[in-house]
Amino acid sequence: MADGARASEPLAPGLYLVATPIGNLGDITLRALAVLRAVDLIACEDTRQTQKLLNHFEIEKQMVSYHQHNERERAAELEEKLRQGARIAVVSDAGMPGISDPGSWLVKTAIAAGACVWPVPGANAALSALVAAGLNAERFSFEGFLPEKAGERRTRLETLAELAALRVTKINEAPATIIFYEAPHRIEETLKDVEAVWGGTVCVALARELTKLHEEFLRGTVAEVRAELGKRERVRGEMVLLVEPVKPDSAASADEPLVKRVAALVNGGLVEKEALKRLARETGRAKSELYRELQRERARR
């Protein structure tokens, strides 16, 4: 057992990455509470948020703020304390610190300073969503938040689709599920992009308000999930979006003439250039090659 994990002995010096609940306070672990009680100092993303958690569990502890705007200066101060043998916990507002939250810079600093770094695992939104989504959970990739700008978001999704298709064509493996964190005001736009990139039949899951009173999973094709959200007056809450990229062979029937497959996509709202790009991605063939094949098929008709 790692030194930082023995409950009965004094806590070893070092940096403790402590997971906190993502909604349900019952998800705090016994070890997280023991570590938070025993450390000399807690570095928190937001001290007010952590104070509420500490109050709930009747823990009194000195806190310092450690967030994306003071990460580097604060890491230098904390490094000095670690060198002197301090025991420091890092917590974010919710879940695992370092996962779409501050933490990783301090971890690198601590390791470089020769300090011990201990994970204290617990709640995490991405993994909680994945295990209950009903999609491929054997392989997955975590993408965090997509870019906010529409063009960059679409480019990121297209790149991810190309990478997923490569996995299938090069190593003949089922595509890995892709996990995103998303904000309620952007989810509908993002789902629209997912549909434009992978088609309406791609399977997705939207996990909302995990571990909270109004926890909900919307599972189905992206077209179905979009239709469901479209019925709602407002989409609220914290959410994780999971996409199981389409296998190239199931995306479109390889036997069907190209001209028909392009026509189907164009009827679905894509311009011909985009339709060819999509088919190139799905089949692993070059777009220029598909373009020539399309011209040949048209000439024969």
Select the residue interacting with ligand SAM from 211, 220, 229, 270 (CB under 6 A). 211
Contact 4, 11 (CB under 8 A): yes
- Using CB under 6 A as the binding rule, whether residue 22 contacts ligand SAM is answered as yes
Q: How far is the CB of 184 from ligand SAM (least distance, A)?
A: 9
Query: CA-to-CA distance for 275 and 176, rounded, in angstroms?
Result: 23
- Using CB under 6 A as the binding rule, whether residue 276 contacts ligand SAM is answered as no
- Calculate helix-pair angle for 222-230, 187-198, nearest 10 degrees: 150
Query: Going residue by residue from 66 to 105, which x/- string records binding to ligand SAM, judged by CB under 6 A?
Result: --------------------------x-xxx--xxx----
Q: How far is the CB of 249 from ligand SAM (least distance, A)?
A: 32
- Residue numbers 113-152 binding ligand SAM by CB under 6 A: 124-126
Q: How far is the CB of 23 from ligand SAM (least distance, A)?
A: 4
Smaller CB separation from ligand SAM, 162 or 209: 209
Q: How far is the CB of 212 from ligand SAM (least distance, A)?
A: 6
Q: How far is the CB of 120 from ligand SAM (least distance, A)?
A: 13
Which stretch, 79-87, 175-183, 246-254, 262-270, contacts ligand SAM (CB under 6 A)? 175-183
Contact 120, 31 (CB under 8 A): yes
Select the residue interacting with ligand SAM from 16, 66, 118, 181 (CB under 6 A). 181
Select the residue interacting with ligand SAM from 4, 14, 23, 248 (CB under 6 A). 23
# residues near ligand SAM by CB under 6 A: 23
Q: What is the DSSP letter of 95?
A: B
How many residues can be counted in the chain?
301
Residues 6+ apart with CB under 8 A from 189: 150, 153
Structural tokens at position 47: 């001290």
Query: CA-to-CA distance for 195 and 205, rounded, in angstroms?
Result: 13
- Using CB under 6 A as the binding rule, whether residue 182 contacts ligand SAM is answered as yes
Buried b (16+ CB within 10 A) or exposed e, 228-258: ebeeeeebeebbbbbbbbbebeebbeeeeeb
Sequential DSSP letters for 134-150: -S--SSEEEEEEPPSSH
Q: How far is the CB of 59 from ligand SAM (least distance, A)?
A: 20
Distances (CA, A) of 8 to 17, 35, 85, 237: 19, 11, 19, 40
Query: CA-to-CA distance for 78 and 88, rounded, in angstroms?
Result: 8
Q: How far is the CB of 245 from ligand SAM (least distance, A)?
A: 20
Smaller CB separation from ligand SAM, 129 or 176: 129
Q: What is the DSSP letter of 203?
A: E
Q: How far is the CB of 84 from ligand SAM (least distance, A)?
A: 28
Helical residues (DSSP H) of 24-149, grouped into ranges: 30-38, 47-56, 71-83, 104-112, 125-133
Select the residue interacting with ligand SAM from 162, 173, 188, 238 (CB under 6 A). 238
- Using CB under 6 A as the binding rule, whether residue 17 contacts ligand SAM is answered as no
- Using CB under 6 A as the binding rule, whether residue 18 contacts ligand SAM is answered as no
Interacting residues toward ligand SAM by CB under 6 A: 22-23, 92, 94-96, 99-101, 124-126, 181-183, 207, 209-212, 238-240
